[in-house]
């Protein structure tokens, strides 16, 4: 491969790469504002100016192709002088908003002002004032004074979202960004402009002024909004999710995340009004009052569920798995149904919306783990299962994370059902009719795995604490939690829901029924399930890593 020398370090590069790309691949950071690896080069910020031997003038690293034998300096006297000048121009009209700006603490302009600026401005005239708090759309607020005209947001809408809605207007120091006449910044990916804005000009209306970033903890996770499984970062303060951002994974979601995945996956987790926050049982089994559910402790609910299951024959019990739940939870349900009740009466209900899907990231399959259920050999609801349900032979439903009333033709078989045991996170259309309800932890509160549409197994990590996790400080799950860099204050502040992982609830019920499931944590569940799948034997959470691992089409074929 050809070679280039940057700051006396010889590195290899691929033909066609620019200096900034070659440096980035070698771990050499070259300052930049307008450059983004996924978008076209605009070359208008000038902070990436570098000195190249045998060239009379400085050149921008973002658009200059690397060539064999080229010698580049990023820290020479000429470069430092140019960077100081660029920062001086950028800061002439920039407001001193750092004390109130959401971007403070992760702002490129703030960082570069410290690193490359001389700290003194020669401009002592009146600053050019522009409009503040300009609403560009339903989710994005714009502060014109902070904008450095890097054009990242404009290029994103044009090139990535395929929906040109932003443009420059005016000239010189009056230049600013506006939406096209009659338009709003309202495409399904509009909030990505917030992350790619290198300053605090574009901010989230949802997150605005809620927290300083250094007061938050950040946890790697996976979006549960559809079968793509976009990699994400969950930001938490006082045990409450405040924002979700994309996490780079070029094999899955590149650098992006859709607005639906950011906003809707926050609201439900935080909402105390719809969360199930304690185990519940129906006080009088024969009562016709569908609202008569009372809060009980875990042992009482487990005992009640076991007593319901003991009253019926195995062929009278049907289990409903969930493509919204993890591999671990669904495996535990399958094991529970098979080993204790000796049958394969287990299925899941798909959830698709063709109008939701697009050619960028969003998939019509709006569940994060339908391929995971296929991997486990759990069948999708079909006519044969529906016929069995409607026959009246099924008397008990054991449901994991699903709304029973959403099953097609549910009215025709629910009238025959005598007992329903639910493991759910949120109240739904049928939950008030249940006999036993267990609050199951959400995707943001557990260790676990999803399998996306590419058959890529990806990790979930707990970002929000539950009462159960608080009791388990020092044990396996939390030792892994601590490795994610979480702040200890999450244990002492904020609301904690009284929920548990689905696999753990099933293990407790199984024990009362006389069966011992030999796994103590989610990783042991994962290791056990992998041991029974050809091609996955020996996998653990470390194998998956931070970007996931492909299960392989051969593995999927053997399990289907």
* % the chain with pLDDT above 70: 93
Supply the pTM of this predicted model. Answer: 0.92
Half-sphere exposure for 529 (CA within 13 Å, toward CB): 30
Mean pLDDT of 430-436: 93
- Tens-digit pLDDT profile for residues 152-208: 999 999 999 999 999 999 998 899 999 999 999 999 999 999 999 999 999 999 999
Residue 559 has pLDDT above 60, yes or no: no
What's the confidence (pLDDT) of residue 177?
Answer: 97
What's the confidence (pLDDT) of residue 487?
Answer: 45
Residue 444 has pLDDT above 50, yes or no: yes
What's the confidence (pLDDT) of residue 483?
Answer: 42
Name the helix (H) or strand (E) containing 177: strand 176-179
* % the chain with pLDDT above 90: 84
- Of 187-196, 413-422, 461-470, least confident by mean pLDDT is 461-470
CA distances from 483 to 218, 222, 237, 306, 493 (A): 12, 17, 18, 37, 20
The confidence band for 482, taking pLDDT boundaries of 50, 70 and 90, is very low
Mean pLDDT of 259-272: 92
- Tens-digit pLDDT profile for residues 119-146: 888 888 788 899 999 999 999 999 999 9
What's the confidence (pLDDT) of residue 110?
Answer: 95
Mean pLDDT of 224-237: 97
What's the confidence (pLDDT) of residue 474?
Answer: 47
What's the confidence (pLDDT) of residue 241?
Answer: 96
The confidence band for 118, taking pLDDT boundaries of 50, 70 and 90, is confident
CA distances from 393 to 57, 69, 92, 317, 385 (A): 84, 78, 78, 9, 12
Name the packing angle between helices 522-531 and 476-483 (round to 10°): 100
CA angle 525, 530, 533 (to 5 degrees): 140
User: Domains of the chain, with CATH numbers?
Assistant: 3-91 (3.10.20.740), 125-270 (3.30.70.20), 280-559 (3.40.50.740)
Strand 280-282 with 293-295, pairing: antiparallel
What's the confidence (pLDDT) of residue 557?
Answer: 53
Given a contact cutoff of 8 angstroms between Cβ atoms, the answer to whether 503 and 328 are in contact is yes
Of 508 and 478, more confident? 508
Residue 247 has pLDDT above 80, yes or no: yes
Cβ-Cβ contacts under 8 Å for 355 (sequence gap 6 or more): none
The confidence band for 265, taking pLDDT boundaries of 50, 70 and 90, is confident
The confidence band for 494, taking pLDDT boundaries of 50, 70 and 90, is confident
The confidence band for 288, taking pLDDT boundaries of 50, 70 and 90, is very low
């Amino acid at each position: 491969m050809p070679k280039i020398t940057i700051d006396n370090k010889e590195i290899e590069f691929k033909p066609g790469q620019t200096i900034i790309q070659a440096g980035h691949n070698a771990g050499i950071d070259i300052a930049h504002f307008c450059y983004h690896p996924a978008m076209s080069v605009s070359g208008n910020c000038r902070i990436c100016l570098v000195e190249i031997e045998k060239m009379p003038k400085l050149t921008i690293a973002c658009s200059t192709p690397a060539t064999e034998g080229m010698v580049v300096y990023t820290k020479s006297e000429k470069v430092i002088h140019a960077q100081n000048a660029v920062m001086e121009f950028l800061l002439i009209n920039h407001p001193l908003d750092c004390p109130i700006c959401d971007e403070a603490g992760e702002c490129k302009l703030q960082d570069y002002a410290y690193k490359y600026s001389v700290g003194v401005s020669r401009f002592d005239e009146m600053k050019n004032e522009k409009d503040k708090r300009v609403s560009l759309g339903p989710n994005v607020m714009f502060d014109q004074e902070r904008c450095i005209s890097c054009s990242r947001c404009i290029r994103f809408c044009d090139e990535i979202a395929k929906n040109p809605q932003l443009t420059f207007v005016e000239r010189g120091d009056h230049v600013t960004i506006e939406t096209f006449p009659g338009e709003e910044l309202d495409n399904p990916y509009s909030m990505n402009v917030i992350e790619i804005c290198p300053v605090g000009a574009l901010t989230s209306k949802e997150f605005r002024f809620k927290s300083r970033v250094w007061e938050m903890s950040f946890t790697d996770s996976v979006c549960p909004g559809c079968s793509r499984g976009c990699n994400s970062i969950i930001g938490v303060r006082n045990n409450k999710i405040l924002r979700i951002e994309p996490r780079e994974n070029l094999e899955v979601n590149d650098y992006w995340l859709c607005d639906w995945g950011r906003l809707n996956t926050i609201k439900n987790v935080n909402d105390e009004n719809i969360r199930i926050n304690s185990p519940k049982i129906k006080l009088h089994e024969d009562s016709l009052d569908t609202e008569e559910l009372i809060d009980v402790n875990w042992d009482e609910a487990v005992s009640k569920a076991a007593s319901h299951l003991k009253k019926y024959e195995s062929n009278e019990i049907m289990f409903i798995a969930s493509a919204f739940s993890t591999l671990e939870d669904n495996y535990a349900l399958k094991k529970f149904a098979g080993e204790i009740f000796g049958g394969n009466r287990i299925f899941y209900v798909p959830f698709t919306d063709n109008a939701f899907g697009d050619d960028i990231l969003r998939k019509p399959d709006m569940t994060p783990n339908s391929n995971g259920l296929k991997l486990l050999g759990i069948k999708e609801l079909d006519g044969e299962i529906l016929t069995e349900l409607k026959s009246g032979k099924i008397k008990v439903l054991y449901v994991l994370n699903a709304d029973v009333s959403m099953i097609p033709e549910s009215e025709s078989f629910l009238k025959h059902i005598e007992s329903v045991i639910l493991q759910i996170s949120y109240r739904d259309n049928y939950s008030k009719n249940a006999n036993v309800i267990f609050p199951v932890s959400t995707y943001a509160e557990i260790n676990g795995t999803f399998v996306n549409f590419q058959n890529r197994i990806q990790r979930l990590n707990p970002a929000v604490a539950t009462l159960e996790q608080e009791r388990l400080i020092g044990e396996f799950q939390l030792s892994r939690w601590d490795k994610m860099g979480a702040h200890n204050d999450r244990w002492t502040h904020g609301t904690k829901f009284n929920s548990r992982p689905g696999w753990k609830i099933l293990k407790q019920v199984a024990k009362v029924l006389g069966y011992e499931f030999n796994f103590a944590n989610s990783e042991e569940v994962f290791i056990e399930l992998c041991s029974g799948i050809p091609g996955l034997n020996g996998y653990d959470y470390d194998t998956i890593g931070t970007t996931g691992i492909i299960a392989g089409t051969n593995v999927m074929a053997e399990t289907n």
